[in-house]
Amino acid sequence: MELQENVLQHTAAYDYDAFTARDVHAALSKDALDVQDFGALLSPAALPLLETIARRAQADTRRYFGNSVTLYTPLYISNYCDNYCTYCGFNCGNDIKRGKLTLDEIERELRAIANTGLEEILLLTGESREKSGVAYIGEAVEAARKHFRTIGLEVYPLNVDEYAYLHERGADFVSIYQETYDRTLYSACHPHNSPKSDFAYRFAGQERAILGGMRGVSFGALLGLGNFRKDAFAAGVHACKLQRKYPHAEISFSVPRIRAAHNKSASELIANAVSESELLQVLLAYRVFLPFASINISTRERAGFRDNVIGLVANKISSGVKVTVGGHDDEQKGDPQFSIYDERDVKTIHSAILDRRLQPVYNDYIFS
Amino acid sequence: MNKMKDILTIGGKEFTSRFILGSGKFSLEMTKTVIDRGGVEMATLALRRANSGTDNILDYMPEGITLLPNTSGARTADEAVRIARLARELGCGDFVKIEVINDTKYLLPDNAETIKATEILAKEGFIVLPYMYPDLVAARRMADAGAAAVMPLGAPIGSNKGLLTRDFVKILVEEIPLPIIVDAGIGRPSQACEAMEMGVAAVMANTAVATARDVGLMAAAFKSAIEAGRNAYLAGLGRVLEHEAEASSPLTGFLED
């Protein structure tokens, strides 16, 4: 709770309009940036200085990650959900095709993905303890362990003992996105007393994952849901403070922008729309603020954007992506969570990385 | 931080001076002069030298000075703990600088033993300031063990070589949520100033002052340098222009808004 209050206080005090170009230059002149400097990089005053910030960010990315760009893909194993997130295609009030892979189907999907050469996988479910419980996720992790070296989870937040259980089965990384750090908006977006409506439980998810033995945790806000500067700032401070508390934990960021979800009219979504320049600004600010953090670029962005941000800010990219339940080997069993803007397969992404004189990396983790 | 009144707080006690004096190398009668001219509010006291025959250093310390007894001479955590308890019994207060050295050639501190002693003494209510080799992991353990500040060395003790450990001290300043006090190695006021510019909370010096031709004047020089460095830190250092070649093609030309 102390961590949460700390992050929310910083965020409440963050007045992005108060920063000037001078503050941005001052931040860039430092070896290590503090929270105020991070705020400057996310401010409107920094938007005309993206090229300057990009030069610093590229140097930081090269210093920490060299030429490496890691490839992975997500696998949705179930889209049953008990939540009513207003922005999401899996909203349980939505009339979509629901599905859940059997263990055999998971095995077939995993094999098909492994055949593309990938060695890292991210397993995803909707939030339904009934349809996709911890034991089910555990079985999926055990199956994935046979084909992949690195396994991440993007499932609903769990208790420490449950994270420990899944870590023992072979999972090492956990992604939990707070969506928005604006508590009022959070309540409005997660109505009906659904499991996800508990802001604090979700906020402390990364800490529980670390306490359960996970190697790394991912942070992010769904940019455009609320004020993207405040939310991107809060996610950065959240990650920074947690890393300080658990210096061994690996930190990573994703920067999902709100995009049309199934059954969701586009007009409702554009109110807080985040432009590509603003999205890049967020990516650059994360890189310069926490240069050691892993930054992932998803297929919510178009190929041209993704190809240009790898090596500049991002060190990780998904490929061969399906956001349906299954669909890699068998026919898909459930509708997608959102639309994707880059459908290139692993081979094509691999070549795109080489074309930029970067090095595709499939695994950098040795198991004990 | 209150910029009108820039206060250093250690163990609940407030200091306006950021110059901590090591007292082991002066003749006792010079102590008061150095303290006055240096504006010193905290001075160390080597317990093993506290009472050399007839003279007692405590008799030379001006009123209002916070004593920082050190455990010099200790080779293990246990010995440091014993010396600290003795200092408290002798009325030197609750502050203690832990110094555990078991290398007689380089006089480098033993971080592992220092962590142990920090934990024991912090539990006993001491305000513990461990002297250490600037190692991030060790500093974290000292902070976890209850240290009130951390005292990394700038260079081997007595060497007057300055801030050889600059980059590592800087890491402590960034990562450890305690006052960082550079102790040992500072040979010139300019080096003390540089440490303060980096954001360390205070500087401790002894040899540099004690070996000057005019000890009082050197104490005054350190006072000014430390204040200058502190002010520069608070003012925010200006940008160092980097003369990098401009990228031939822009990095952000791909954006489509």
Q: What number is the average pLDDT over the span B234-248?
A: 64
* pLDDT per residue as tens digits for the range B55-106: 677 777 777 888 898 998 889 999 999 999 988 888 788 999 999 998 877 8
Task: State the DSSP H helix or E strand holding residue A360, giving kind and residue range, or none if neither.
Answer: strand A359-361
The answer to whether A325 and A332 are in contact (CB under 8 A) is yes
Q: Is the pTM of the predicted complex or chain greater than 0.90?
A: no
* pLDDT of B2: 46
From CA B135, how far away is CA B113, in angstroms rounded?
14
* pLDDT of B233: 92
Residues 6+ apart with CB under 8 A from B39: B17, B19, B223
Higher pLDDT, A335 or B139: B139
- In the A/B pair of chains, how many CB contacts fall below 8 A? 45
From CA B240, how far away is CA B7, in angstroms rounded?
29
Cβ contact A54–B239 (<8 Å)? no
Q: Where are the beta strands (DSSP E) in B114-168?
A: 127-132, 151-152
A31 neighbourhood in chain B, CB within 8 Å: 170
Closest CA–CA distance from residue A265 to any residue of chain B (Å):
21
Nearest CB to B255; choose among A31, A32, A277: A277
Residue ranges of B 151-190 with Cβ closer than 8 A to chain A: 170, 174-175
Stated length of chain A: 368
- Phi-psi category of residue B135: left, alpha or beta, with phi > 0 → left and psi -120 to 50 → alpha: beta
pLDDT at A264 over 70: no
Does residue A93 sit at the B interface (CB-CB below 8 Å)? no
Nearest CB to B255; choose among A247, A280, A307: A280
Mean pLDDT of chain A: 91
Tell me which residues of B are annotated as active site.
97
Q: Give me the residue label for tokens 């400057």.
A: A40
The answer to whether B202 and B169 are in contact (CB under 8 A) is no
Q: Which of A76-85, B44-53, B239-248 has the lowest mean pLDDT?
A: B239-248
ipTM surpassing 0.85, yes or no?
Answer: no
Q: Give helix A2-13 / helix A228-245 axis angle, nearest 10°.
A: 140
* pLDDT of A313: 97
CA Rg, chain B, in Å?
20
Q: Which two tokens stand for residue B243?
A: 């003369």
Partner residues linked to B130 by β-bridges: B98
- Phi-psi category of residue B162: left, alpha or beta, with phi > 0 → left and psi -120 to 50 → alpha: left
From CA A293, how far away is CA A314, in angstroms rounded?
10
From CA B69, how far away is CA B51, in angstroms rounded?
13
* pLDDT per residue as tens digits for the range A26-44: 999 988 899 999 999 999 9
Banded model confidence at residue A368, pLDDT cuts 50, 70, 90 = very low
- DSSP letter (8 states) at residue A341: S
From CA B30, how far away is CA A16, in angstroms rounded?
54
CA-based nearest residue in chain B for residue A58: B251
Does residue A312 sit at the B interface (CB-CB below 8 Å)? yes
B233 neighbourhood in chain A, CB within 8 Å: none
Does residue B2 sit at the A interface (CB-CB below 8 Å)? no
Nearest CB to B257; choose among A54, A276, A302: A276
Helices (H) and strands (E) counted in chain B, each on its own, are: 8, 12
